[in-house]
Amino acid sequence: MGDVTTRPSGPGFKRVVVNVFYEQTMLIILILLVIAMTIASTSFLSLGNLFNVVRQFSVHGIMAVGMTIVIVGKGMDLSAASILALCAVANVLLQPYGYLASIAGSLAVGAVCGLLNGYLIARVKANFIIVTLGTQIIFTGIALIITGGWDMRSRPEPVFHWLGEASILGIPVLGWCLVLIMVGSGVLLARSIAGRRLYAVGLNDRAARASGINDARIVLMSYVINGLICGAASVLLTSRLPRIRVGTASDYLFDVITIVVLGGTALSGGVGGIYRTAIGLLIFAIINNGMALLHLPFEYQQLVKGVILILAVLYDEFNRRRRLG
């Protein structure tokens, strides 16, 4: 009888462990951050602080969902913060006509902005960086012309006040809105035919076209969805803030990109998802909240944010090379 050779299980198990470690690196970092902040500040885990974090970063999280969808399709929307500002202006202007009109107006403006970006990028085949940089200036300019450069006072009806201040089961309504949008978008992206086609376009648009996928329509759809999500985020923004200042909306852009990349969604497209973005959002929110609790000066907070963005990009490049290797 011949000898039966068996393959040792050690290297295979080791490979699995290494792969799991790389795939869940950000989750591990999140857990370590929670432990570190719990030790560093006794108020970190207080309900008041946690709910404050939810209210402060819900708009970031919702915008990060839209940005994730666009980046999965191998694009990026540098005008997202300007869309947010323009939608917020539309919301405030339409508030005297009722909350339904103001919400519908915000969503409509966001959809139109996304449609313009998507048409120029998907149909005209213009470079997405140049297009969204240009529309960023255009949308901001329109918002500034409408407002005259002045702050706009939001006069929320009871519905908006409820969105911005109320809680359900002890959790802020803003948090429930964030979870609802994340879960809905996550299911759409991971389970729907359109979502799978978006991943295919992001991974290899030529192969997607060869397989019969209308890549232009898929990319166009991703920018429209992102515009709609920015419109939804503007509704929550005007519900939370008594005054809307157009110029400050630009602060959201790099925060949102940092959140998405930090979560592990690949800038090269085709890899990522809402679960990863949720992890990135939690890490980003905890770091920012931690810096505030530890009374770190503003200029150092900005420095830390810049470093985090660079590290996130380096992490994305490392993962890209690991996938190719």
- How confident is residue 155, by pLDDT bands cut at 50, 70 and 90? low
Tokens (6 digits) for 207: 């192969």
Average pLDDT over residues 311-318: 80
Tokens (6 digits) for 201: 């376009």
Q: Is the pLDDT of residue 129 over 50?
A: yes
Sign of CA dihedral 261, 265, 270, 275: negative
Q: Is the pLDDT of residue 233 over 60?
A: yes
Domain boundaries, the chain: 46-248
- How confident is residue 178, by pLDDT bands cut at 50, 70 and 90? very high
* Cα distance between residue 114 and residue 135, in whole Å: 10
Question: Cβ neighbours of residue 186 under 8 Å, at least 6 residues apart?
Answer: 273, 274, 275
* Cα distance between residue 316 and residue 276, in whole Å: 12
Residues in the chain: 325
More confident residue, 61 or 2: 61
Average pLDDT over residues 218-242: 93
Determine the longest span between alpha carbons in the chain, in angstroms.
Answer: 91
- How confident is residue 1, by pLDDT bands cut at 50, 70 and 90? very low
Task: Quote the pLDDT of residue 231.
Answer: 96
The whole-chain average pLDDT of the chain stands at: 87
Task: Quote the pLDDT of residue 325.
Answer: 63
Average pLDDT over residues 40-67: 91
Average pLDDT over residues 88-115: 93
* Cα distance between residue 222 and residue 69, in whole Å: 6
Q: In 3-state terms, the chain is what percent helix, strand and coil (to 5)?
A: 80, 0, 20
Average pLDDT over residues 204-210: 91
Task: Quote the pLDDT of residue 111.
Answer: 97
Task: Quote the pLDDT of residue 152.
Answer: 78
Average pLDDT over residues 165-191: 92
